[in-house]
Amino acid sequence: MDFSVMERAAQWLAPEFDQETRQQVQWMIDHDKESLVESFYRSLEFGTGGMRGIMGPGTNRMNIYVIGMATQGLCNHIKKNFPGRSDLKIAIAHDSRNNSRLFAETTAKVISANGIHAYLFESLRPTPELSFSIRHLGCQSGIVVTASHNPKEYNGYKVYWNDGGQVIAPHDEDIIKEVEKIQSIKEVPSNGNPELIHSIGKEIDEAYLSCIGSLSLNPEINRKYHDLKIVYTPIHGSGVMLVPAILKRFGFTNIINVPEQDISDGNFPTVISPNPEEKAALNLAIEKAIATGSELVMASDPDADRVGIAIRNHDGSFKLLNGNQTGSILIYYLLKNWSDKGKLKGNEFIARTVVTTPLFEDIADDFGVKTYVVLTGFKFIADLIRRKEDSEVFIGGGEESYGFMIGSFVRDKDAISACAMIAEVAAWAKEQGMTLLDLLESLYVKYGYYKEHLISIVRKGKTGVEQINAMMEGFRSRPPKSLGGSEVVMLHDYLTGTSLNLLSGQKTDIALPKSNVLQFVTADGSIVSARPSGTEPKIKFYFSVKTNIASATDLPAAEELLNKKITELVNSLGIDL
């Protein structure tokens, strides 16, 4: 066994760790070396979604000690960045996961023990509201305890900066350095200062909901179709606190819930995974929609920053939309109505990530609106808004993994505002004599039929990390010459920051931060991207293909064509599924 693993584990047998933790570590040392390695072979680091891991004892696990050291490192970093300030503030929120309240209270104690004001939400709240509260309260930082859509064994810790966006370089790297300087848990004060811990809640809710309410572009249409039947489920998460309230504020009066999923429960008892990307997570909501004759189903993940939807198909059944489809509908609705109402002044922009559908860009081009493409993670959209906010206006943006952001008062993906706007789009479509599916299909006729596909390969633990790294290195050192029968003509390597034209040999710089992403573009316009997840033990492969259609009646044939193309692309990659 690696000596460093045993050395780290031995430190967790010291008296400053609670008895239960010491017993669990000793048991792993005596009986379960595999779990010991997984628990101690590294320290959790900040990825695209912060720090996230399985709960349990160890440096590579989520527990009060890892959270305490991360919080102390954050406090040290904040004091260095805001020297001499006596009014430092950090906002804290948490979702419904097991131990989330404990972890949030632990965080507040460490913050207050450092002489910093901790603004702790009184109970669970959505991640986007935490982002909002940072700027609303004038905080220097914020923290939300959540593992988003991960399975119940996980929890996490997202850190935000004073702009309301998740930390990016150099702050994320500097926080890690500060954490690594902490040699012992003894360096982390555990007794908080109650005078510096402030409970927040309803007053922030009202301010946040008021801002979302201002986004409505057609309130009169919402009132006309107020009885639109909408099924909403928070999947046992924090969306229950605000989504029904914002739908009512937008004018919708026929909101149907799924009672067994309104219960906040970190075991997520009614689903295998609380991930709205997965069809099974929406099964109960769809059953409710069928029983009640509803037109729209919406489901948010535990921290309510992402939303999945299902809409009526032409035959009356329900069709699940993916994140690219929902995002495209939202972008079109926003730009169409901004244009119709004379709100476009020429300095507006939208944003998408490098693995999100190019359809966003096609729509924006049609309305003369600029599109910025950023790395995966809404923290990069937040940073873009911060850099542009004095000269340009952000309308909206999104990513393929069901995250959307409208307006700039929140600097992270936001299922609360997205649910409100999706309902508004449904009402607006009815006013045009269309369903949401009709609207989506009209976009395909106008801009081309884009189809995206995602394959995620899970490789758990230390060995899995090594396998994923080897896979990426193989594609980087030996890039495919063709994919799906079409020659690869462009290679974008976001880790080296270069784009290579494989036909001419010309290299150009990519004006984005470095990230371990590879993207291959073929002669027929297909795009294949490879990216290790920043928050889960998996590598993701993204496929994007397109064909043009003359009318919606051409969609079945186009679907068959593009499905075949995607299958050819997957097979030509030669990956072991």
Distances (CA, A) of 20 to 41, 64, 67, 525: 21, 12, 17, 57
> Any catalytic annotation for residue 148?
yes
Concatenate the DSSP letters of all residues of 245-260 into one string. HHHHHTT---EEE-GG
CA-wise closest residue to 100 among 151, 63, 142: 63
Distances (CA, A) of 228 to 143, 254, 296, 334, 490: 36, 6, 8, 20, 47
Concatenate the DSSP letters of all residues of 532-547 into one string. E-SSSSEEEEEEEEEE
CA-wise closest residue to 234 among 209, 260, 214: 260
Three-state SS letters, 110-172: HHHHCCCEEEEECCCCCHHHHHHHHHHHCCCEEEEECCCCCCCCEEEEEEEECCCCECCCCHH
Which residue of the set 100, 131, 148, 408 is catalytic? 148
Distance CA 500, CA 506 (A): 6
Compute the 3-state secondary structure of the chain and give helix, strand, coil in percent, each to the nearest 5. Answer: 40, 25, 35
* Assigned token pair, 336: 């169409």
Distance CA 262, CA 270 (A): 11
DSSP 504: T
* Assigned token pair, 275: 């991930």
What dihedral do alpha carbons 243, 245, 251, 255 form, nearest 10°?
A: 60
Distance CA 560, CA 27 (A): 55
Q: Which amino acid is at 459?
A: R
Contact 377, 165 (CB under 8 A): no
Please give the positions annotated as active site: 148
